[in-house]
Structure 1
Amino acid sequence: MRINADLLNNNYDDRLQELRLSTSVIELVGLILEDINVSAQKNRYLHDRKLLVNQLEEQQLVLSKARKLFVIDKLKFDDFKELKIECRAICNGL
C-alpha cells in the first residue's frame, strides 16, 4: 500500500509541474501583487507621517512651555531664544 501512495504522490507532483497559468491569470496575479505593494507602501507612508506629526507636536509643546515660562519670568530671554532656535532646527530637519 505504501508504494502506491508514493507513486501517487510522485505522479501528482509531476502533474502539478505540467500546469501552466493562462495569460489572464498571470495578469491578475500581477495586479494583486501590485495592490499589495501599494498597500504596504501606503502603510509605511502613513506610519512615517504619524511619526513626523508626533515629533512636530512635541517640539511645539516644548516651545509653548518655554513661552509660558518666559512670560512669567522663569526663563531668561537668551535661554528662550536658544531653545526657539533649537526647536526650529529640529523642525527644519524633519
Structure 2
Amino acid sequence: MPDKTPRLDFLLLLPSQAQKHVTRNGAPLLLDMITQLTFTTFEESDPPTAPEGGEVHVVGDPANGDWVGQVGKIARFDGNGWALVDPQ
C-alpha cells in the first residue's frame, strides 16, 4: 500500500500506524500550501532569516542554508520549519 497519494502527495493512514493525527493533519496543511498559491519570493537562494508562518517561496539555484539540495521546490514555513514539495 502506498503511503502518499500519487498526484498531490497527501499522506495516507497506514494499518496500525501510531500518531495518526500527525499523518492526518499533513494533508490539510499540504492542501493549504498549494491551493490559491502565492509566492513570497521566486527563485530565492537563501531562506529568510526571520520567516513568518505561511510564507511560501520557490527555491532558487544555488540553494543555501535549510534549502540545500532543494532547488526548484516549493518551500513553506509552518512556524517551526520548512515543508518542501516538488511542483507538479
Q: What's the TM-score, normalizing by structure 1?
A: 0.28
Structure with greater contact order relative to length (CA < 8 Å, sep ≥ 6): 1
Of structures 1 and 2, the larger Rg is shown by 1
With normalisation by structure 2, the TM-score equals 0.30
When you count strand as a share of all residues, which structure comes out higher?
A: 2
